[in-house]
Amino acid sequence: MMLSKLRIAALSAIFTLAAATTVIPVDPPTSPQCCKTVIRSDEFIVTELLADLGLSLGNITVPVGLGCSPLSILNGCGDLSVTCAPPTVNLLNLIVINCILVAS
């Protein structure tokens, strides 16, 4: 399920654009997340969204979770259960990086 372009544009509008691009570090996946979708970081929608936020993953291609929220025992997951790198940049859990699917 892809996020709509309108939703991406609306989410981008809430962030202040940075003049310089910040490279996000890619840490090992240790953070349980529930994501709407997981796609490669070199997909157009991801590169454009990160660029709009003044962010980059550099030359690294990793699975990226979109529309994510932290997973806990109390809130379950109706979408994709994944383990991702802990967020190092506050993206309101909309994007998390280095995600691997958790076997159900």
Q: pLDDT by residue (tens digit) across 79-93?
A: 899 999 887 666 766
Asked if residue 10 has pLDDT above 50, the reply is: no
pLDDT at 90: 63
pLDDT tens readout for residues 25-68: 788 888 898 999 999 999 999 888 888 888 888 888 999 999 88
Q: Where are the domains positioned within the chain?
A: 5-11+24-101
Q: 34: which residues sit within 8 A by CB, 6+ positions away?
A: 68, 69, 70, 71, 75, 76, 77, 78, 79, 80, 81, 82
pLDDT at 38: 94
Position 20 confidence tier, pLDDT thresholds 50, 70, 90: low
Whether pTM exceeds 0.85: no
